[in-house]
Amino acid sequence: MQLLDTPKSRTTKQRGLILEELRRVDTHPTADEIFGLVRRKMPRISLGTVYRNLEVLAEQGLVLRLDGGGGQRRFDARTEDHYHVRCLGCGRVADLPSLSIEIPEREAAAGTDFQVVGFGLEFLGICPECQAAAAALAADDTPEGVKE
């Protein structure tokens, strides 16, 4: 642990608040967004502290790190098995109800020299806001006189 210079009680309090705020939302926020939430209650907390504590919480298995999609890493306090759908337009991530998907991990492991330790599965889609934005854009593009 590299938090030697931080008094333990303060670290615990900060980490507790970060986890509490993350559990309050289901939006899978980025570290920057979590910083915004936490700062309302702990105005002097720094972005670096939030980043560091999120990584510690992830290592402790209390939060999930969602990488992928080429965007910023997102975090999820819901750690039980569930799947995600990611918007190709804005990158937002939503939970899907639990699905019965069998991933043949043993078969996958048999086909490689890698030690397979897990898998990541993410559905891709377009969120309602991006659908609406695309529809509005399409409507705007309609040349005059074509509309009935």
Interface residues toward Zn ion, by CB under 5 A: 76, 78, 87, 89-90, 95, 127, 130
* Least Cβ distance, residue 82 to Zn ion (angstroms): 6
* Least Cβ distance, residue 76 to Zn ion (angstroms): 4
Cβ proximity to Zn ion, 21 vs 76, nearer residue: 76
Cβ proximity to Zn ion, 15 vs 28, nearer residue: 28
* Least Cβ distance, residue 54 to Zn ion (angstroms): 15
- Strand pairing category for 93-96 and 83-87: antiparallel
- Report yes or no: 101 and 121 within 8 Å, Cβ to Cβ: yes
- Strand pairing category for 83-87 and 122-125: parallel
* Least Cβ distance, residue 1 to Zn ion (angstroms): 27
Query: What whole-number distance in Å separates Cα of residue 28 and Cα of residue 41?
Result: 19
Cβ proximity to Zn ion, 5 vs 80, nearer residue: 80
- Report yes or no: 112 and 47 within 8 Å, Cβ to Cβ: no
